Chain A
Amino acid sequence: MKRRRPFFVRSMMIAGFLFLYIPILSLIIFSFNESRLVTVWAGFSTKWYGELFRNEQVLGAAWLSFKIAAMNATGATILGTLAGLALARFGRFRGRPLLTGMATAPLVMPEVITGLSLLLLFVAMEQAFGWPEGRGITTITIAHITFSMAYVTVVIQSRLATLDGSLEEAAMDLGARPAKVFFLITLPIILPAILAGWLLAFTLSWDDLVITSFVTGPGASTLPVVIFSKVRLGVSPDINALATILVLIVAIGIAIAGLYMRRQQKLRELDIQRAVAADD
Chain B
Amino acid sequence: MKPFVLAELMAWIRAHGAWRFAIRGLRRRGYSGRTLVTAVPFLWLLLFFLVPFLIVFKISVSGMQMAMPPYEPLVTWASAQVMELKINLANYAFLWEDALYRNAYLNSIVTAGISTILCLLIGYPMAYGIARSKPSSRNLLLLLVMLPFWTSFLLRVYAWIGILKNNGVINNFLMWLGVIDEPIVMLQTDFAVYLGIVYSYLPFMVLPLYIAIEKLDLSLLEAAADLGCRPVKAFFRITVPLTMGGIIAGCMLVFIPAVGEFVIPALLGGPDTLMIGRVLWEEFFNNRDWPVASAVAIAMLLLLVIPIMVLQRFQGRQLGAQR
Check: A218 CB closer than 8 A to any chain B CB. no
Tell me the complex Cα distance, A113–B1, Å: 28
CA A259 – CA B172 in complex, angstroms? 40
Note all chain A residues with C-beta closer than 8 A to B126: 12-13, 16-17
Find residues 149-206 in chain B having any chain A CB closer than 8 Å to their own CB. 150-156, 158-163, 165, 167-169, 172, 199, 202
Which of A48-56, A168-176, A239-247, A267-275 contacts its partner?
A: A239-247
B125 near A40 with CB under 8 A, answer no
Residue of A nearest to B3 (CB): A131
Contact A110-B304, Cβ < 8 Å, known A80-B41, A121-B52: yes
Residues of A within 8 A of B222 (CB): 1
Which segment of B19-27, B43-51, B75-83, B90-98 sits at the interface? Answer: B43-51
Q: Please, which residues of chain A bring their CB within 8 A of the CB of B129? A: 5, 9-10, 12-13
Smallest CB-CB separation from A118: which chain B residue?
B52
Complex CA–CA separation, A203 to B1 (angstroms): 34
Q: Which of A225-266 contact B (CB under 8 A)?
A: 227-228, 231-232, 235, 239-240, 242-243, 246-247, 250-251, 253-254, 258
Q: How far is the CA of A111 from the CA of B236 in the complex (A)?
A: 36
Closest chain-A Cβ to B72's Cβ sits at a distance in Å of: 13
The answer to the question of A105 belonging to the interface, with a C-beta cut-off of 8 Å to chain B, is yes
Judge whether A104 and B151 touch: CB under 8 Å. Answer: no
CB of A102 to closest CB in B, whole Å? 4
Q: CA of A37 to CA of B285 in the docked complex: distance in angstroms?
A: 31
Instruction: Decide yes or no whether B316 CB sits under 8 A from chain A.
Output: yes
Restricting to B10-65, which residues have a CB under 8 Å from any CB of A? 32-34, 37-38, 40-42, 44-46, 48-53, 55-56, 59
Tell whether B260 is near chain A: CB-to-CB under 8 Å: yes
Out of A39, A106, A206, A251, which one reaches B172, CB within 8 Å? A39
**Once the chains bind, are A227 and B155 in contact (CB under 8 Å)?**
yes
Q: Is A64 an interface residue (CB 8 A)?
A: no
Interface residues on B, range: 35 or more
Question: Across the interface, do B34 and A13 meet the contact criterion of CB distance under 8 Å?
Answer: no
| Residue A209 CB within 8 A of the other chain | yes
Complex CA distance for A127 and B1, rounded to whole angstroms? 11
Contacts A5-B132, A13-B130; A79 near B151 (Cβ below 8 A): no
Contact across chains for B52 and A27 when beta carbons are under 8 A apart: no
> Contact string, B136-148, partner A, CB cutoff 8 A, digits 1/0?
0000100111011
Provided the pairs A120-B56, A210-B262, A246-B155 are in contact, do residues A23 and B163 lie with their beta carbons within 8 angstroms? yes
A179 to B144, CA, bound (A): 38
Tell me whether A103 is interfacial, beta carbon within 8 Å: yes
Cα distance A86–B51 when bound, in Å?
Answer: 22
**Interface residues of A, count at CB 8 A:** 96
Q: Report the nearest A residue to B157, measured CB to CB.
A: A231
With a CB–CB cut-off of 8 A, which chain B residues contact A242?
Answer: 155
Residue of A nearest to B218 (CB): A3
Question: Which residues of chain A (70-122) have a CB below 8 Å from chain B?
Answer: 79-80, 82-83, 85-86, 90, 93, 95, 98-113, 116-118, 120-121
User: Would A79 and B154 be within 8 Å (CB), given that A102-B49, A258-B143 are in contact?
Assistant: no
Least Cβ–Cβ distance between B65 and chain A, in angstroms: 14
Q: Does B120 contact A (CB under 8 A)?
A: no
State whether the Cβ of A146 lies closer than 8 Å to any Cβ in chain B. yes
- B56 adjacent to A116 (CB under 8 Å): yes
Is A43 part of the contact surface with B, judged by Cβ < 8 Å? Answer: no
CA–CA, A40 to B59, complex, Å?
A: 50
Does residue A157 face the partner (Cβ distance < 8 Å to B)? yes
B48 adjacent to A118 (CB under 8 Å):
yes
Q: Are A93 and B150 within 8 A (Cβ)?
A: no
Q: How far is the CA of A239 from the CA of B140 in the complex (A)?
A: 29
Q: Does A207 contact B (CB under 8 A)?
A: yes
A140 — which chain B residues lie within 8 A by C-beta? none
Q: Given A121-B55, A227-B154, check contact A95 B38 (CB 8 Å).
A: yes
Query: With contacts A116-B293, A121-B55 known, is A99 near B48, CB below 8 A?
Result: no
Instruction: Find out whether the CB atom of B316 lies under 8 angstroms from the CB atom of A26.
Output: no
**CA distance in complex: A113, B98 (Å):** 21
Q: Does A220 contact B (CB under 8 A)?
A: no
Which residues of chain A are near B294, meaning CB under 8 Å? 116, 120
Partner of B151, one of A24, A102, A112, A258: A24
Beyond A3-B132, A104-B315, A158-B319, is A110–B277 a contact (Cβ under 8 Å)?
yes
> A3 touching B172 by the CB < 8 A rule?
no
Q: Which residues of A contact B152 (CB under 8 A)?
A: 206-207, 224, 227, 243, 246
Asked whether B199 lies within 8 Å of A19 as measured between CB atoms, the reply is yes
**Would you call B159 and A82 a contact (CB within 8 A)?**
no
11 A-B residue pairs with CB within 8 Å: A16-B202, A39-B165, A102-B46, A108-B304, A112-B297, A120-B56, A161-B323, A209-B154, A227-B152, A246-B151, A250-B150
Residues of A at the B interface (CB closer than 8 Å) are 1, 3, 5-6, 8-10, 12-13, 16-17, 19-24, 26-27, 30, 37-40, 79-80, 82-83, 85-86, 90, 93, 95, 98-113, 116-118, 120-121, 123-124, 127, 129-131, 142-143, 145-146, 149, 153, 157-158, 161-162, 178-179, 203, 206-207, 209-210, 213-214, 224, 227-228, 231-232, 235, 239-240, 242-243, 246-247, 250-251, 253-254, 258
5 further A-B contacts with Cβ under 8 Å, apart from A10-B129, A214-B284, A251-B147, are A30-B162, A83-B41, A108-B253, A108-B257, A121-B51
